[in-house]
């Protein structure tokens, strides 16, 4: 796995291929739904995902300061490595911080995109030529730092909100975040999805665990008071669910074959208490997402969320219409886990086969529809 661990932009994906059972035929045609969008594109999606996240932090290595030809060559190398590991789905970070790693009329260019080429077009061309499914990975509410915001064009919608102080954008520490209680915020995020799916042959969109950035009641005290609601946590959950449903509906409006996925943190209790993500609702009924990827970044000895016990909790939550894909922590292999308690502190060091064991458990599950590695 040395090649793949290098290709994951710093995340460590160390499951040993030599100990894995022989993979099924690569990208078998039988699992590709041949459903066309309105534009005539047939999305490539798989009943059983073997996915990887490509985070924007890694773009500095193969995008920043690179010519179009260099970027294409380096991305091809990454895809070659993924193909060797039977990866079939890519979650590519294209809207991480109120910006765009694609051609956008709404958002400014991402920090690491300093060339005049369109990286998403290149990534889609190269990935689709090899049969990968590509989902655009968005962080809907996280925006630029305070310093970055000052440097943006004055007609940038989020900068206008920030400077007007009207509440849609809020500064928390050194970073701006959008407040999902505002209808115009939801509209902006839907515009983001529309623009992407109008311009690119993506196979789906994907969001992860950046919902409310804080549990502090001061973040949206004024909006909560004006709402007339009585329960702050429930009100925030409803705001997040409205956002999720709008994104799901926007994706489906471009073609039923396109997929919308959510990757919340794996600790169910913390989903509710710190981010106000109603994961039981999203996983338990149709109309919120096509697949859910809880980040089960826990060892078997984790004192708060031991892997197998937490996996069973998620298995019990999903309805038949929502696929359960398990997020795995390749980056932890070989490192101390300081959030796992004393028993699990050295587990990822002492057991070099830990990730491999987790993959086997997920693959043997009668409920799970694959896994994704970060």
Cα gap 180→189, rounded to integer Å:
10
Question: Average pLDDT for residues 68-84, to the nearest whole number?
Answer: 96
Domain of 66?
Answer: 2-21+33-141+179-373
Q: What is the CATH number of the domain that holds 285?
A: 3.20.20.80
Residue 13: predicted pLDDT: 36
In a domain, 167, yes or no: no
Q: Is residue 6 part of a domain?
A: yes
Number of separate domains in the chain: 1
User: For strand 259-262 and strand 142-145, is the pairing parallel, antiparallel, or unpaired?
Assistant: unpaired
pLDDT of amino acid 31: 35
**168 part of a folded domain:** no
Contact assessment for residue 371 and residue 360, using Cβ atoms and an 8 Å cutoff: no
Position 79 in a domain: yes
Q: Cα 131 to chain center, whole Å?
A: 20
| CA–CA gap between residue 198 and residue 187 (Å, rounded) | 16
Q: Is residue 170 part of a domain?
A: no
Which whole number is the average pLDDT over 245-266?
97
Per-residue model confidence (pLDDT) at position 285: 96
Are 195 and 189 a contacting pair, CB within 8 Å?
A: no
The reported pLDDT for the residue numbered 39 is 52
Identify the three-state secondary structure at position 100.
strand
CA distances from 191 to 187, 227, 329 (A): 6, 25, 32
Helix (H) or strand (E) holding 196: helix 183-199
pLDDT digits (tens, 9 = 90+) for 210-226: 999 999 999 999 999 99
pTM above 0.85, yes or no: yes
Other C-beta atoms closer than 10 Å to the C-beta of 285 total 12
Encode pLDDT of 296-327 as tens digits: 999 999 999 999 999 999 999 999 999 999 99
Q: Mean pLDDT across the stretch 317-340?
A: 96
152-190 pLDDT, tens digit per residue, is 999 999 999 999 999 999 999 999 999 999 999 999 999
Sheet with 175-178, strands from edge to edge, namely 142-145, 175-178, 169-172
**Domain assignment of residue 172, yes or no:** no
Quote the Cα angle for 305-308-313, to 5°.
75
Q: What is the pLDDT of residues 29-72, one digit of tens each?
A: 333 333 445 457 789 999 999 999 999 999 999 999 999 999 99
Give 305-342 as a DSSP string. S-HHHHHHHHHHH--TTSEEEEEE-GGGTTS--TTS-T
- The CA distance from 82 to 246, in Å, is 32
The model's confidence at residue 149, banded by pLDDT at 50, 70 and 90, is very high
* 153 found inside a domain: no
Assess contact for 94 and 138: CB atoms under 8 A. yes
What average pLDDT does the structure give for the chain?
90
Give domain status of residue 148, yes or no. no
Examine the pLDDT at 255 and tell me if it is beyond 60: yes
């Amino acid at each position: 796995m040395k090649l793949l661990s290098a290709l994951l932009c710093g995340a460590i994906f160390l499951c040993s291929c030599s100990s894995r059972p022989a993979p099924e035929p690569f990208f078998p045609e039988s699992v590709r739904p041949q459903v066309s969008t309105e534009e005539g594109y047939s999305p490539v999606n798989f009943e059983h995902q073997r996915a990887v996240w490509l985070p924007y932090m890694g773009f500095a290595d193969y995008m920043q300061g690179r010519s179009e030809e260099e970027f294409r060559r380096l991305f091809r190398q990454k895809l070659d490595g993924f193909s060797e590991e039977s990866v079939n789905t890519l979650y590519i970070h294209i809207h991480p911080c109120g910006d765009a790693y694609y051609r956008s009329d709404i958002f400014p260019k991402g920090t690491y995109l300093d060339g005049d080429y369109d990286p998403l077009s290149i990534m889609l061309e190269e990935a689709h030529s090899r049969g990968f499914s590509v989902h655009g990975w968005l962080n809907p509410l996280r925006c630029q730092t305070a310093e970055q915001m000052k440097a943006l064009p004055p007609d940038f919608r989020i900068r206008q909100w920030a400077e007007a102080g009207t509440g849609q954008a809020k500064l928390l520490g050194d970073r701006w975040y959008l407040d999902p209680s505002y209808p115009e915020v939801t509209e902006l995020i839907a515009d983001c999805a529309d623009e992407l799916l109008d311009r690119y042959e993506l196979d789906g969109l994907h969001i992860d665990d950046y919902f409310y950035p804080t549990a502090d009641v001061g973040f949206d005290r004024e909006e909560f008071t004006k709402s007339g609601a009585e329960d702050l946590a429930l009100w925030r959950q409803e705001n997040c669910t409205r956002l999720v449903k709008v994104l799901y509906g926007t994706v489906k409006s471009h073609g039923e074959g396109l997929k919308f996925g959510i990757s919340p943190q794996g600790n169910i209790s913390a989903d509710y208490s710190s981010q106000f993500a109603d994961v039981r609702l999203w996983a338990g009924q149709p109309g919120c997402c096509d697949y859910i990827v809880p980040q089960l970044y826990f060892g078997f000895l984790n004192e708060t969320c031991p892997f197998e016990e937490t996996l069973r909790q998620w298995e019990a939550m999903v309805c038949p219409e929502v696929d359960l894909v398990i997020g795995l922590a390749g980056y932890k292999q070989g490192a101390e886990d300081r959030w796992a308690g004393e028993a699990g502190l050295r587990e990822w060091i002492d057991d070099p086969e830990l990730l491999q064991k987790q993959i086997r458990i997920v693959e043997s599950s009668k409920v799970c529809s694959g896994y994704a590695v970060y």
